[in-house]
Each structure stands twice: as C-alpha cells, then as structure tokens.
A and B are shown apart, each in its own frame.
Chain A
Amino acid sequence: MPNYRIHKTEYIDETKRVSFKYDGKTYFGYEGDTLASALLANGIHLVGRSFKYHRPRGIVSCGAEEPNAICQIGSKKDLTEPNVRATELELYEGLEASSQNCWPNVKFDIGGINNFISPLIPAGFYYKTFMWPKSFWKKVYEPLIRLSAGLGKSPTEPDPDIYDHKHVHYDVLVIGGGVSGIISAKMAAKNNLKTLLIDDKKILGGSTIYQNNESIKIDDKLSSEWLKNEIQEIKKLSNLTIKTRTSIAAYHGYNFLLAKENLTDHLPEEKKKNKIRQRLWKIRAKKVVIATGSIERPLVFNNNDRPGILLSNSINKYLDYYGVTCGENIILFTNNDSAYETSISLHKKGIKNIIVDLRKSASSELIKQAENLGIKIYFNHVVTNTFGYRKINSLEIMKLSEDGNTTVGNKIRLSCDCLGMSGGWTPMVHMHTQSGGKLDFRDEDQVFLPKENSEDQISVGSCNGDFDLENIIDKTVNKINKFLDIDNQDYQDTNIICSKENDKRNIWLLPNKIPLGKTKCFIDFQNDSTAKDIKLALKEGFRSIEHVKRYTTTGMATDQGKLSNMHALGIIADTAGVKMGTLGTTTFRPPFTPLTFGTLVGRNVGKFFEVVRKTSMHEWHVENNAEFENVGQWKRPWYYPKNSENMHDAVQRESKAARDSAGILDASTLGKIDIQGTDASEFLNRVYTNAWSKLAIGKCRYGLMLNEDGMVYDDGVTTRISENHYLMTTTTGGAANVLSKLEDYLQTEWPELDVYLTSVTDHYSTASICGPNSKKILNKLFPNLDLSDENFPHMSFKEDKLENINCRIMRISFTGELSYEINIESKYGHSLWKMCIESGKEFNLTPYGTETMHLLRAEKGFIIVGQDTDGTMTPSDLQMDWIVSKKKYDFIGKRSLYRSDTIREDRKQLVGLLTDDPKEILEEGAQIVSDVKSKPIDMLGHVTSSYFSPNLNKSIALAVVRSGKTMKGQKLIIPMENKNINVTVSDTIFLDKENKRLNA
C-alpha cells in the first residue's frame, strides 16, 4: 500500500494507529487525522461522483467548504448519517464511511454516462426537459432523477443519541480561534470581561498553528511557536471559556447565537455510549468578535475538477499539519503569493513542485525565497486543460495575452500527480451578514468586506480582509481596544516580520482557445454547474444573481456555495459588463454548516416533546382502562372501554348510564379564574354579553364571551362566591388565552377597575356527577347538606366539608341532567374521586369521558366553542340571542353585533340535522348542499358535531348552514364519496326541551 505520510508532526500521534473502513475496505490512519487526511495518506483522492455528470471527484479542501468529500457514516438504520464532510470528520477506531452519490461504486459508475451526454444537460435542463410529455413525469423522469440524484441516505429509525441544550450569557463572544481570535479573547478576558472563545477545530490556532516559513516571524520566533505560547497564556485566564469542536450555526438579532458543540463524534463507538453527542449552545453576548478567517478560492479553467486537484493551502495543511503529501510531483497554479508558502514547504520536505502564476511578474519576500530555492515559476501563464480520468496525470499551460482575455503562443504540457490552485481568498463574512451587517466591495482583490455599522459586533483578521500577519495583529489590537473601550498594551512591542504581497491579478473565468461550450469549467463542484451554465442563464435573460443561482443551482448544494458564489458573481459581472460590487451577493443563510435535527430538538423528544398536564385523578383513569384524548396539553379520559368494547359501544353504554342513573366526569381541566375586587361585577358586565350585577351571592350564571369583532370567543359558568369574589370557568383549551385577554382589558383599557385575576385551574380538582340518581350520591357524600330544590336549586352554589376538607359544590349542568360539580383542593382530588365512585356503586355510577360528554351536551344542543364555532359565529348565528343583554350600554364585542356584515340574514347559522335514515351517522366536517346537480355545487355549510344518541335511538347532528334559522323542516343533502345522505333541518335541542330532567 502506498504511503504518502512523509514526516512526523506534533498533531499526529503515530503511536496510536487507527483502523477504519472506507467503501468497505480497511485502511489505517493515526489519532489526529481527519478521514480526509487518512485517505490522502493512503493515496486515495477519488471520493465521489459529481451530482449531475457523475464525474470522478476528489478531496478539494481541508475544511467546512469541502464540496466533494461528502460521506455516509455508519450503516445502522438508526445511526447512519449522510452529508458528513471527510475533511472535518476526526478519525476514530472502527469508523465506517462510504462515498455518496456513486452507485454502484465510486470506480465504475453507471451515471458516468451523463458525462458523455453532458452537452444535453445545460443549465435549467431539468426544468426544460422533464416538462413534457406530462405522462412521462411519474413513470420515467421522476424515478430516473431520484435514482441518480440522491445525496446520501437518511436514517430510517429514531436517533438513539442524546443531545443537550445550554443557555449562556457572556460579555464577549469570540468566534474563531486563529491569531486574531486568540488576541481578541486574551484582550477581553484580561480586561475582566467574561469571555467565550469558540473554534470548530479540535485545537486552537487556525492556519498559523502549522505555519513554518522563515520569512514570517513574531518576536524572532516562527509565528506558529509564538502562537502556541499565546494559547498557553490564554488557557490560564480564569474568566475565559474556550470551547473547541464548536461551531456557530446561526447568528440572530440581539447577539443571540446558536453554536453546536461536538462532544463524541470523534470517539470510537464504545466510548460514545451513554454520552451526550452534541450540545446546542444558546448564547447571549453583549459583544461579538467575528474572527472566522477566510477560505481559499479555486480557479475556473477547463477540467478543473479532476481528483488530485486541491486548493493550494489545503495541500500545505495536509503536509505541515498531518504530515501527508497530496502528490509527489505537484504543480501549483495561483494568482497570489500564498501558493508560494505551500511551494516552499513542499520543497523543504523534498517534494518536487513548480508554480504557474497568472501574474505578469511579482516581487515579495516569499517569491524571492522560492526563486532562491530554484523553484520553477511560469509567470503570466494559465492552465488551459488537465488530463487523467481517476486522477490528474498532466496538464497544459499557455501564455496569457497582455489584457488577460486570451491565451497566446504554444501549449506546454506538464506532467503531475497533483494540482494546487489558489484564486485568492474570500473573507468569511457569513456571521457578519447573518447579524444584519452590510458589505462593501474592495476592487483591489475583489472581496466583499464587512461594513462596520453596529456597536455590538466587529470583524477582525482575514474575515475582515486583512491577510498578512502584521496587518492582522496590528489592526486586531487597535480595533479590539476601541470596540471594548479598553487600553490593552500587551501587543505594543510585538515585532512582526512578514512577506508583503505587492501584485494582484484576478480573472474569474480563465481564457481558453477551446470555445466555452466545449469546456468543463466548474464553478460549483457539488451541484456540477459550470461557467457555461452561468453564461447560458444570462443569455436566456436572467439578470438577478438570485435568479441565476436558482436556474443554474450554483451555490445551492449542502456546501451552500462556499467555494463557488464569488466566481458566479464575477462571471455574471464580467459578462453583463457591470462592476462586481454593484451586483450584491446572494443571502448567507444559517446554518453555516449542516446541523442534525437531534441537536436542534435536544432533550425535547419522546415524552419530553410537549408538556403533559394530568389531573389529580389521572392515575385512577389509567387503572380503569381509560383511553385518553389530548385537549391542549391536558390528557383527558376519552372513554372507558370495558372488556372488548370499541369506542362506539363504550360511549353508548356511558351516555345511557348517565341519563338512566348516574355518570361521573373528571372536569378538573376546565379553566378556572379567581376574580376578586370591588369592581368584579362591573368587570363581568363588560366582558360577558349578559348582565351580572344582579347575580345573587351563591348563584351561578352561564356567560358567553365575545371578541371585539362580535364573534364568540369562550363560554363557561361563573359563580358569585361572595360580594366581591367570583369564580369563572372557561373552556379547557381557552383558559390561558381568556386570562391573557382579561388581563389585557384590565391593564390597558380599564385600569380604573379594582379587579384582580388569578388562574386557579391547577389548584382545584373537579368531579362532576350527573343523572337522576346524582342527588342520592351527593347525599351520601354530604349528609348534612340540604339538597332540596328550595335550598340548593339549579345554578346555585354551596360550601360543605368532605370529612375535614372544604368543598365548593355547584349545581350546574352541561348534560341537561340533574348535576353537581364538586371542587376540592387538587391534592385531595384523587381521594374525592374514589369516594364518589364508592358512594355511587349502588347506583351504577359510571365514569364517562369527553366523547360521552360531547354526545350528552349535543342531545341538549349545547355548543362547544371551537367545535360548533370557528371564530366567525356571533351569538345570533348560534341562535343564542337570549344571552345578549339589550340593556347593557357596552360589553366587549357589542358594537360589532350590528355591523352591516354581522346583521346579514344569510350568515351561516347553527341548526340541528336529523338524517332520514336514523341509523346513518354523519361525518363531522361534511359539506351540506341543497342541490347536487347544479355546477358548481352551492355549498351551504358543514356538519360541526355528529353522534348516535342511545337515549333517542337515532342519529343527531349540529351544523352551520347559510340562513339556517329559516330552514327548519327543509330537506338538505350531504354528498359523500359514494352516496348522498338526505337530512332534515331541525331544532338544535333534541332532548328534553322543557328542561324537566334538571330537576328530576
């Protein structure tokens, strides 16, 4: 096996050999490697196939910007993860990775045929071709695209890993642990500011940490040695927290940032177990220092995508950090000085290399150094083509014309096994723009730079366009002193010597003798878009960068165009003949690198997904076989099946028992608001449609609450407990909103009212006993309480003790039966319930759930707000005009009840429906029409509630129907999928219109 690891470095532990599998084959690397460096050490460049043409592709970079080396990790159904960048994945024992998007395998790829028919796949190809014929879409095009387009596989089973969230507050957050980040963090922390420094790599130091060029020195030391000292220094600072393997996912307003910390992704399987995998940090920082650095640009020339073609600086990092050379005969193609550092480094390790430089000439310390070492440099030359199928084996260069628009002279063919390219550097302005910052364009080296405009964030270092070390350190120190309003002198006497770049020449699309249409000049490696695609889009009339991007899909892959966006912009600007800065950029959206869903949801999975509210009787319901229904966050018993009963059977039995003898309901979830104050009566007058002033102490009243627009908002019974004390009940789901609404009016419209509201929903448990035998059961529970109709009539309230415990008992009814609600402090709720059940045994007291409750109230035509209403129903629409006070001058919503729209006669109004076939049960939500033959069919309304009533032995329903009030007795039709159901409009009250049962 070839070995490209050519020297030792301090970052690779050669005593710790690590075995891993790539595409099923076992290889070895060392602790400290990334998957990419380990592959390169094994001589593997080819890691995938391109998205559209299935061209062989190799590792391009050494970081987050990697477009090609995208892997599927693991093969377990619950743990496999797609789209992992091999350049960021730390190697661990037992790692299993495979290349993506290359069925059946990376070396022989059936989709590779696309490469030969590529003239047929221009920009917008998918949009244009697969439009026609329509019938081909489902059977031919879609399966074809899906088969060849997949980027990895999602896990198919729930993620077993543990994720965590953490909220933190800091004075200063520094993003990025390179030179400028380290200096910033040190200055902040030494000035007593609580500081957090984060970096996405395993160790701090950025690209300076492996810098070893003699021409770049700080205080007479190699810059890397100097920086290591600085890192030792800052580790001692007590108010500085350093988090490595942590990357910012999003920068939101108000300096609220999300960061992802990787805790176990670098550990072997057995060490990952029972540990938190990733932690999402929710950071609030008073000030943020952005020191995210810059990434190297590729160059755009024909066949610039072959395996073995990497970014020049990545070659340098693989060499000096990982000890791995990317080739033995390397060519570096550049338009700036940074490739010379790579070249000198390679030369020192004995790797043969030559430089092809776009610039006509250049002079700087680095260039002098390279020339002195005898490194061959072709100035004013351009790479025009490359060769080699699975890996580059040679290339062609030509001389550039004076204006750089064409090539001149003869082709020179050079052999090589690796090509490094450097098209300059792009500052990582993502964080700045995500925070709302704007950009400026610097023509000199064609970069977008942060425009300083806010007081709470700043960019320093190369993300701010400062590229040489002297510039970086001096400017960082000055800016941080100003930004934090401090006077730090630590770097006053720091002596920096570095090479200065003097010459620049940028050409976005390099010239070629071959017509563009016959070249493959890739811009976006991951989405396979080329310079030709961009030009075609412009030719077809696209102008906006956002449109060109979408049409060509440039910058839309998982790498979000980190390497491609600038070139796309440059080519558009050149072609359209406009200045680049005027085009703007595409939007930099979070996350910077992909996040797992697990990190985002943290611990809020399974039973922690949502808060679950249970009543104090809950355990009894569970023990007694209740099925539960979610009502808001509450778990409410839905029905209590016995033996093999289904829901229908259980509900029929429960509702029959409630009417024939006695039933009991856990009503604890109803919202309860305690209202006190000298103006409590006046307050109720203003919030309910009916009058409250005359309600006697100890009496209860049903109230309807409207929105200011006149639509029914909530309902419930309110009890006057004493002169200035009421207890209001609301619907279960509406409790929180009603309280908010009432507080709103009290605090903002009627601050003069002396009223205090307290939510007591959780403080009381409620057992509601109904049915003809309910009085007998109450008598057993409260033997001293006079239950006679004279002393304790319907809609009244008594207090009594159950043993020693106070109970509030209301005689109110939602079922139409004689009915009592017993309220007790929640801690006694379970005991109360058991005592009720015990006392009711001889009367067949039957527990019933929400479904039976709904049926019983529907028999009586009582509405459920939110089921029979939907925010468009007035009291009059509900045929409840009786509850709207004519005398009251004002209440919430009153004025809206006689707006031109609310008094329309043909509004949808609540009616009863009886099916012609009494056994036919309507579907809730079903549409109602009068004529099925007209086209389009005129929709009159819909069914809101529907049940089979065992007490009436027929199907009943409530519905809202246009002009329904006037339609009693009229025949209507419910058209269903396979039949039409005939119904007759009826009264909304189906049972006991005279309310005899209330006093039975």
Chain B
Amino acid sequence: MFLINCPFCGDRDQSEFSSGGEAHIVRPKQPTELSDDEWAEYLFMRKNIKGIQFERWNHVHGCRKWFNVVRDTSNDKILSVYKMGEKPPVNYK
C-alpha cells in the first residue's frame, strides 16, 4: 500500500487516490486533422515500463487535485511528485 505525497495535502494512504495512467500524454489540439492511426496512437497506446514511469494520480478522496508521480515500477518506490503543468524532474528520464 503506497504512501503518496499529494503536492497539496502531504503524505496520504493510497486508498485516498485513484490512478490515472501514463502522464504527459497531451490531448491533440486539432483531433479532426489526425488520421485514424494518429488518433489511435493518442487514444490507445500506453507505455508499460519496468523501471521509471511517469504517471497521473488523483487525490479523489481528498483535495480532488490531479498531479504527476514518478514511480519506479520495479520496486514501487515513488521518486517524486509534481503538479500538473509542471515539467518532470530532470534527473529522471
């Protein structure tokens, strides 16, 4: 059970959060201009990394804020949290 450091509330139990999948997938500004393949790339394609992964979490039973998390999926350690709109920490890539 993770202990997640919500950037707005601090450390909270995982049961207060819901996971929102991979982070930094930007919704295309002009979807109508995209081919089926390009749209499918946005819609369906997600990474499944063993190692450092950037993901979205929502403090759904708390402040309701969405934020980003850097997690090492090989040992489940959360390495960093940062707010929406912020760039991922440079030391992970």
- Using a CB–CB distance below 8 Å, which chain A residues touch chain B? 252-254, 256, 284, 436, 708-709, 740, 743-744, 747-749, 751, 889-890, 894-896, 899-900
Contacts and interface: CB of A to CB of B under 8 A. Distances in A.
Interface of B: 1-3, 18, 20, 26-28, 30-32, 34, 36, 39-40, 43, 56, 58, 60, 64-66, 75-76, 84-85
Contacts of B2: 253-254
B32 A740 contact: no
A894 B34 CA distance: 12
Given A708-B27, A895-B31, A900-B36, 4 more contacts: A252-B1, A744-B66, A748-B66, A889-B32
A747 B8 CA distance: 14
B34 A895 contact: yes
21 contacts: A252-B1, A253-B1, A253-B2, A254-B2, A254-B3, A254-B76, A256-B1, A284-B3, A708-B27, A744-B58, A744-B66, A747-B66, A748-B66, A748-B84, A749-B27, A890-B31, A895-B31, A895-B32, A895-B34, A899-B36, A899-B40
A63 B78 CA distance: 38
Contact of B84 (A252, A284, A740, A747): A747
Contacts of A744: 20, 58, 66
B39 A899 contact: yes
Nearest to B2: A254
Contacts of A895: 28, 31-32, 34, 39
A721 B36 CA distance: 39
B66 A743 contact: yes
Name the 3 nearest CB pairs between A and B, nearest first: A895-B31, A256-B1, A747-B66
Contacts of B60: 740
A168 to B, nearest CB: 13
Contacts of A889: 32
A900 B39 CA distance: 11
A584 B66 CA distance: 42
Contact of B75 (A436, A740, A748, A896): A436
A894 B76 contact: no
A709 B43 contact: yes
Most chain B CB within a 10 A radius of its CB, from A708, A749, A890, A895? A895
Nearest to A745: B27
A740 B65 CA distance: 10
B31 A894 contact: yes
Contacts of A436: 75-76
Contact of B58 (A252, A253, A743, A894): A743
Given A894-B31, A899-B36, A708 B1 contact: no
A743 B27 contact: no
Contacts of A890: 30-32
Given A740-B58, A894-B31, A751 B66 contact: no
A748 B18 CA distance: 15
B12 to A, nearest CB: 11
Contact of B1 (A254, A740, A743, A894): A254
Nearest to A454: B75
A254 B1 CA distance: 7
Contacts of B64: 743
A744 B30 CA distance: 19
B84 A751 contact: yes
Nearest to B11: A284
B56 A748 contact: yes
A747 B65 contact: yes
A630 to B, nearest CB: 21
Nearest to B38: A895
B59 to A, nearest CB: 11
